[in-house]
Amino acid sequence: MPSRVILLTGPQGSGKTTLAEELRTAHDFTHFDGDLWAAGADPIVGNYKDKLEEQKRPEVSAEHKGHCDQLNAFLVKFRANENTEDEPDSWQPFYRAMSQDVLSVRSQLAAGSPGVVVTHAVYRQSMRDYIQKLLGEDSLVLALQPPLDVATKRAANRCVIQYSMMKKSFDEWIEILHPNRSGYQICKAGDNLRTVIIEDDGSAGVKEVLSMVEEKLDLRSAVADSV
């Protein structure tokens, strides 16, 4: 299988990072974490737990910080239900810079590598289409879509420190994080022919979700062909 780029997206709590790490360990994909990139840290994830525990962050350029500030301001408006999707200057520079770095990582992969999995919660279909155009014709969007209430509770449980510091209750944090109320637009069949949607009722374990992805992306055949 030739090297490719997969944008692994979904709302907070959908399991993006967990699945990306499974793809890294089971199929040797390179995991590029969009949140680490946005924070100015090394986005190439080896041991994710170690990455989270590293407190030292390298200095980021003013241009990088500007892109991130633009996107954050854009998302604040989204969460206030303001229609800012038609303001591409507020979000395109961020994704253009990130996509350039993803393609740079891909160009440095060893021969035979399956490619790069990029994890990031991309809120709107127009934004996903834009990123996919930047990443090239062989790129793919892999959308994880458990029930939104399930994803929200997972995200809230993971963010217990943040919401306690903000003096928010669990229920208040649920309201803040809920994808329907934070502007997240779920993927729908037919939105894009290069989008693969993985849906479950929230009860599937990570190995079951990995199996679904392997079947959808024909990864088992790719492994067999390489043996």
Across 13-17, 42-46, 54-58, 174-178, the highest mean pLDDT is recorded for: 13-17
Determine the Cα–Cα distance for residues 227 and 222; give it in Å rounded to an integer: 9
Where residue 51 falls among pLDDT bands split at 50, 70, 90? very low
Give DSSP secondary structure letters for 83-107. Answer: --TT-GGGTHHHHHHHHHHHHHHHH
Where residue 149 falls among pLDDT bands split at 50, 70, 90? confident
* Mean pLDDT of all residues in 72-89: 66
Helix (H, G, I), strand (E, B) or coil at 45: strand
- Nearest partner of 216 among 113, 123, 141, 133, judged by Cα: 141
- Nearest partner of 86 among 97, 77, 98, 99, judged by Cα: 77
pTM score: 0.79
* Per-residue pLDDT at 223 exceeds 50: no
> What is the percent of the chain where pLDDT is above 90?
22
Q: What is the mean pLDDT of the chain?
A: 77
* Per-residue pLDDT at 192 exceeds 80: no
Rg (CA), the chain: 17
Q: Does residue 79 or residue 219 have the better pLDDT?
A: 219
